[in-house]
Structures are given as structure tokens and as C-alpha cells.
Structure 1
Amino acid sequence: MNGDEQLLNGRVYGADHDDPDPGPRPDRSYAELVGGPLDGLLLDIHDWSAAQVGFGAALVTELSRWPGGRALYDPLPGEPRSAGPGVTCRFHYTGDTP
């Protein structure tokens, strides 16, 4: 893991780099990002519908194959999801797109 990746662990995707508390909030729901350039980050999915969660996410990042492109993350079929606050599911890296 390089230095940029170490800085990201335990952070919420989209949190400001200068935020003194970039971690998860106890009243929100998150997907854990697994693999790829955003490995270890949490994605806030608190207001997402079940259908939206099922589609995964294309997340803008400078760490992808194409800087400023998107890293693609999807849930695995049949992987458990829980309801309520905290980490409720995992999204797995599936590739990059410009």
C-alpha cells in the first residue's frame, strides 16, 4: 500500500482532505469499498434505495487508471446486506473508466 492509499483508509469517500474528522458518522449507512484505488474507503449510501445500492457506483478519483476518471464498484450477487446505520454492505472494485 502506498502513502496515498494509507491516507484513505478509514475515511469516507468525498470527505474533505482537511476535515479533522473524515471518518464515518454513527447515524449514517455505508458501503465498504474493497479493492482498487479506493480500497478501505467508506461510501455514504444512507439515502440510497435498495435498487440504487444494487447498481453499485462509479466514483471519480485521481487514483484510477485515468486520473479524473471513475473507479467502478459493485456489490457481489448474494452478498449479505444489513439495514440501519454503520457498514451495511461491501462494493467490490470491477475496473476503471475515463
Structure 2
Amino acid sequence: MDKLIRRRVYGADHDEPGSGPRTGHAYRELVGGPLDGLLLDVTEWNTGQLAAGAALPTEIGAFRPGGRSTYGPRRAGDGAYWDWRGDIR
């Protein structure tokens, strides 16, 4: 958990107090793409949602404002990591 304490959670401002992970929450680390290194809070997600991954709004992807970056579970590896699959409108 020490490593996670210094990490930022997706959706939190970088200078916002409490922008790191919270005790009792479940996270997936985003790997690659514009959101690389951020943590996604999946605490209340069900098994189907976790298997499907997510299209996360971001202004720093290929399509700028209004675009989304897609991330999903690593196929052969650690379920704690979600790999970037590309950007969509």
C-alpha cells in the first residue's frame, strides 16, 4: 500500500488534497496511453463491469475534449493492471 499512497486516482486533480487512493477501496492501475500510471477506483463495480473494462473521458487523448481512452483487464497477467486499448470519440 505504501506505493499506492503516492499515486493519483483518475478523476482527481493533481493538486487536490486526497487525490490518492483511499483505504478500503479497490483500484486498477492504468497502463499505457494518456492515463498511464493513474489508478481507477473500481470499488463498486460488478464482475461483468470489471471484465468489460472502461471508456474513460479524457481531454489528453487523441480526440482531445469529448474523447475517451479505453482500458481493459490484462489478458494474461495481473488483474491489478488494465492496459490501454486505444482512444475513441
Q: Quote the sequence identity (%).
A: 48
Does the CA-based 8 Å contact 2:31-2:84 persist in structure 1? yes
Which has the higher relative contact order, 1 or 2, with Cα contacts under 8 A spaced 6 or more apart?
1
* 1:14-37 C-alpha deviation (Å, 9 max, x unpaired): 113442221000110001000000
Is 1:13 aligned to residue 10 of structure 2? yes
Where 1:51 maps in the other structure, the secondary structure is: helix
Uncovered stretches (5+) of structure 1, i.e. residues with no partner: 1-8, 82-88
What whole-Å deviation, never above 9, does each CA across 1:51-74 have from its counterpart, x for those lacking one? 110000100001100012000101
Q: Which residue of 2 aligns with 1:93?
A: 84
Q: Mind listing any 5+ residue stretches in structure 2 that lack a counterpart?
A: 1-5
Q: How many residues align?
A: 83
Equivalent runs, 1:26-45 vs 2, <5 Å: 26-45=23-42
Task: With the length of structure 2 as denominator, give the TM-score of the two structures.
Answer: 0.84
TM-score w.r.t. structure 1 length? 0.77
Following TM superposition, the consecutive aligned residue runs of length 4 or more in structure 1 with deviations greater than 4 angstroms are none
